[in-house]
Amino acid sequence: MQEGLFMKFSDHYGKLLSTAARPATLSSGVYDEKSDTALLQQTIQAYKDAIVRLQENQVQTKKMMGQHASDADVLIKDKAIITAIMGLIKLGESGCSYPVFLTEMMKRGLDKAIEGAALNRDAQVYLLEAAKAIAAAPGYIQQEEDKLALFDTLSKASAAGFPNTMQYTLGCEKIEWTHQPVISNWNKIKEGWEKAVFWLDEWITAYCSFAPSIAPWAQARNPMEAVIESQECVPGKLRVWEQINRKYFTLSLKELFRHSSFEWDVKNHHMYWSQGYIEFLLNEIEPLCLPRRQPLASLIEKAAAFHTGKRKVNPAVGEPARRYARYFNSYFGEGEYEKRFGWPEAVETNAAPWEWKNFSLSGY
């Protein structure tokens, strides 16, 4: 998906076939019926040779891929390409002239078929299904759905049954431009509440007696000095961050947590923190996290108990990775994800699972 393998395969198929079908220069310099027949036969033979090369190349590719050779059977859609080439060969052997052959080839869209146009749809389906598997932002999922719908719409409007590559590419770019503001807005608001939670956790944990011996302070040259910096500077950072989000999104710190991105992350298990710890930070710590203020001793003890009791992390935080692993296996074969990357490990936590319907934020 990230490397654009589908598009690369399609591009190389097109280059291979166009090179193979390129006719030699006519020795006589005159185009006549004999030359016409020779060119047609040469073209047909080139396509027959191309089928052999495609099959040979797949075998060679599988050898190069070693233990992941089975991927070639999934990624290299040689059957669709070979079927299209066979259609060209059948047309060329029907007794038509070379000009008629070329005309019919374009009318039927066989030239687009051998370029691998159909493979673009497979690539788009993969992108869409992968986005759904990991529960990417709604705007991104909608963007990929719109691209697939565009492909199908252009295909239906085309006599060839495939969209014009340039028209489809430009259409996809337009779709991305249309959705980008929504996606960016979503991501920035999400960043707003993510940073707020991070700083609230840093501030209250910095007051725990064990703070100098844990990350991030233990990595500092002077851990105790770093702890004091967090205690004194985080409240100011948090309130300036709140002002920034008010300015650009007209959302207060409290309102950031009512944005749909927060609920989306909770329900789709992207949320790192446990429900109990989030409620503790927002209901009890946030109101006190102000410049020149310190938390109550009872709150410090409560924060320490969350840490030592391993109740800060959401037990389902690894579910998006497991969802993608299951999708990967459905695409490349059962057990393939585990074989390559190992199954995503469960996080070590004693926190209770999230229950969104019981989530409570006082004053939010």
What pLDDT, on a 0 to 100 scale, did the predictor assign at position 250?
A: 95
Q: Do 258 and 364 contact (CB within 8 A), yes or no?
A: yes
Q: pLDDT tens, position by position, for the chain (364 residues)?
A: 556 665 666 566 556 655 555 554 445 556 667 777 888 888 888 888 888 887 787 777 767 767 666 676 666 666 667 777 888 888 888 888 888 888 877 777 666 666 666 667 888 998 999 999 999 999 999 999 999 999 999 988 876 677 878 889 999 999 999 999 999 999 999 999 999 999 999 999 999 999 999 999 999 999 999 999 999 999 999 999 999 999 999 999 989 999 999 999 999 999 999 999 999 999 999 999 999 999 999 999 999 999 999 999 999 999 999 999 999 999 888 998 998 889 998 899 999 999 999 998 876 5
Give a yes or no: residue 119 inside a domain: yes
Q: Based on the fold, state whether residues 9 and 131 are members of the same structural domain.
A: yes
Q: Based on the fold, state whether residues 214 and 125 are members of the same structural domain.
A: no
| Residue ending a domain, choose from 163, 195, 210 | 163
What pLDDT, on a 0 to 100 scale, did the predictor assign at position 236?
A: 97
Give a yes or no: residue 55 inside a domain: yes
Q: Based on the fold, state whether residues 11 and 146 are members of the same structural domain.
A: yes
Give a yes or no: residue 150 inside a domain: yes
Q: Based on the fold, state whether residues 206 and 88 are members of the same structural domain.
A: no
What pLDDT, on a 0 to 100 scale, did the predictor assign at position 141?
A: 97
26: left (phi over 0), alpha (psi -120 to 50) or beta: beta
Give a yes or no: residue 64 inside a domain: yes
Q: Which residues contact 360 (CB under 8 A, 6 or more apart)?
A: 279, 283
What is the CA 106 to chain-centroid distance, rounded?
35
Q: Based on the fold, state whether residues 30 and 127 are members of the same structural domain.
A: yes
What pLDDT, on a 0 to 100 scale, did the predictor assign at position 140?
A: 97
Q: Based on the fold, state whether residues 138 and 203 are members of the same structural domain.
A: no
Total tally of structural domains belonging to the chain: 2
Give a yes or no: residue 211 inside a domain: yes
Q: Do 110 and 89 contact (CB within 8 A), yes or no?
A: no
Q: How far is CA 348 from CA 121, 270, 312, 317, in A?
A: 41, 16, 10, 10
Q: In angstroms, rounded to a whole number, what is the distance separating the alpha carbons of residues 257 and 209?
A: 30
Q: Based on the fold, state whether residues 276 and 198 are members of the same structural domain.
A: yes
Give a yes or no: residue 340 inside a domain: no
Q: Based on the fold, state whether residues 155 and 229 are members of the same structural domain.
A: no
Q: Do 235 and 203 contact (CB within 8 A), yes or no?
A: yes
Q: In angstroms, rounded to a whole number, what is the distance separating the alpha carbons of residues 178 and 174?
A: 6
What pLDDT, on a 0 to 100 scale, did the predictor assign at position 25?
A: 46
Domain residues for the domain of 245 are: 184-314+349-358
Q: Based on the fold, state whether residues 310 and 194 are members of the same structural domain.
A: yes
What pLDDT, on a 0 to 100 scale, did the predictor assign at position 294?
A: 95
H helix and E strand count, the chain? 16, 0
Q: Based on the fold, state whether residues 152 and 285 are members of the same structural domain.
A: no
pTM score = 0.76
